[in-house]
Structure 1
Amino acid sequence: MRSADDHAEPHPAAGGAPSRFPLADPAGLPPDLAERYADVEERSGFLPNVFAALAWRPDEARAFFALNDALMDKDTPGLSTGERELIVVATSAANDCAYCVVAHGAIARIRTKDPTLADLVAVDWRKAPLEARMHAVLDVAVRLAVEPASVTAADLDRLRGHGLTEDDVWDVGAITAFFGLSNRLAHFAAIPPNPEFHLLGRLPRSR
């Protein structure tokens, strides 16, 4: 029988560090990663903690960000870039991943141009003001995240019925699966969300 301690949150990284694991010297990153990290920091004004946490494993960091880009940086007939971020927010909330909820909630606010929608999705996507298509997408994605055996061929057909292409349907599963990995690594390494994420997309940008 599990004790109450089995459900306790893991101890955070010491001293507010971005990970429980070793942190690489940015000056020692391979050139391609160093260029990417510098570009992200310049555009965002800060380096997201997941970048710092993965830097000590360069091959995995490179693969992680390549798959992220392939899945997230495209608009397709059934899934906009903002809707892709909402999949991450809903499934990460179901997986109790604060880092991904906060970080991708910020990106969702920017990409949907809606300052509150990601918060509503994180709290309860069922009540969020979304089209029927996205309610169906999130229903399937969240069940795949927490109860994968419950997702059947009929669920995929339901997504097709809402106008998703075969690539879109695959992306629903791939995004959910990829961020299941991300959720668990963030939990395992106790990666905290950067404070900067909390305000992104909430206020008009100064010109």
Structure 2
Amino acid sequence: MPHIALPNLPGIRGPMAFRPETSKPLNELVEVLLRHPNSLTPGERELIATYVSSQNNCHYCQSIHGAIAAAHLGGDEELVQCVKDDFHAADVSPKMKALLNIAGKVQQDGKNVTPEDVAAARAEGATDLEIHDTVLIAAAFCMYNRYVDGLATVQPQDPSLYRERGKMVARDGYVAANLTNVASAPAPELVAR
């Protein structure tokens, strides 16, 4: 049960509907990081968000971003699970493995990223923009994960709910998907303390 009275929407959607003026910049940031044109595909960037969220043990974020990643990757839920379990064994490029290594270090403590980690990513073909965005995705998802879990948001366990929402967000984007939910939420039913 949420710590405060939030609209009865799962995960981050509840706090975003509770305080829409903060949801706008949060959605815009994730839209730029995960969907705007980039040399990393949306699926690869979603894998970074999923991996960090799994390391933070945030059920909602790892489930929804895993579902979005799978939607971008032809429905490959097995790959998403493998990245969460052991990205070294996952069928992703050496560059992605180097970037996931950096993301994991940022998740623990940004100061854990070493010049050697960056050099290893560069050696696998990572650009400065890809390294930058990996660090920012990891840092942002630590914030999003703590936002979701710090308010004890509703976090459904049914994978089919995430799968359907994941397809919608992969198709329509974050801003459109979340604005629709906030705007269409009737005087939201609040989850009491």
Q: TM-score range by the shorter chain?
A: 0.7 to 0.9
Is 2:4 the partner of 1:21? yes
Amino acid at match of 1:197: Y
> Greater CA deviation, 170-179 or 126-135?
126-135
What is the match of residue 162 of structure 2? 197
The answer to whether the 8 Å contact 1:21/1:53 transfers is no
Query: Helix, strand or coil for the counterpart of 1:135?
Result: helix
Deviations 1:88-145 (A, max 9, x none): 1111111111111101010010011123111111222222122111111111110110
Cα pair 1:106 1:197 within 8 Å, conserved: yes
Supply the AA of the counterpart residue of 2:162: F
Aligned to 1:98: 59
- Specify which of 23, 46, 50 is matched with residue 89 of structure 1: 50
Structure 2 unaligned blocks of 5 or more = 168-193
| Aligned-pair Cα RMSD in Å | 2.2
SS in 1 for 2:91: coil
Equivalent residue number for residue 65 of structure 1: 27
Tell me the percent identity. Answer: 29
**Alignment size in residue pairs:** 163
Measure, in 2, the Cα distance between the counterparts of 1:98 and 1:126.
Answer: 22
Spell out the pairing of 1:84-163 with structure 2 (5 A cutoff): 84-113=45-74, 114-163=76-125
Q: How far off its partner does 1:82 sit? A: 0.2
CA contact (8 A) 1:72 1:81 kept: yes
**Bigger RCO of structures 1 and 2 (CA < 8 A, at least 6 apart):** 2
* Structure 1 pair 129–162 and aligned structure 2 pair: CA distance change class (3 A): same
User: Deviation of residue 198 (structure 1)?
Assistant: 4.8
In the alignment, structure 1 segments of 5+ residues that lack a partner are: 1-12, 14-18, 26-46, 203-207
Deviation at 1:154, TM superposition (A): 2.7
- Between the aligned partners of 1:49 and 1:187, the Cα distance in structure 2 is 8
User: Structure 2-normalised TM-score?
Assistant: 0.75
Q: Which has the larger radius of gyration?
A: 1
8 Å CA contact 2:11, 2:148 repeated in 1: no
Runs of 4+ in 1 over 6 A off after TM superposition: 199-202
Q: Give the 3 Å change call, closer, same or farther, for CA 193–121 of structure 1 in structure 2.
A: farther
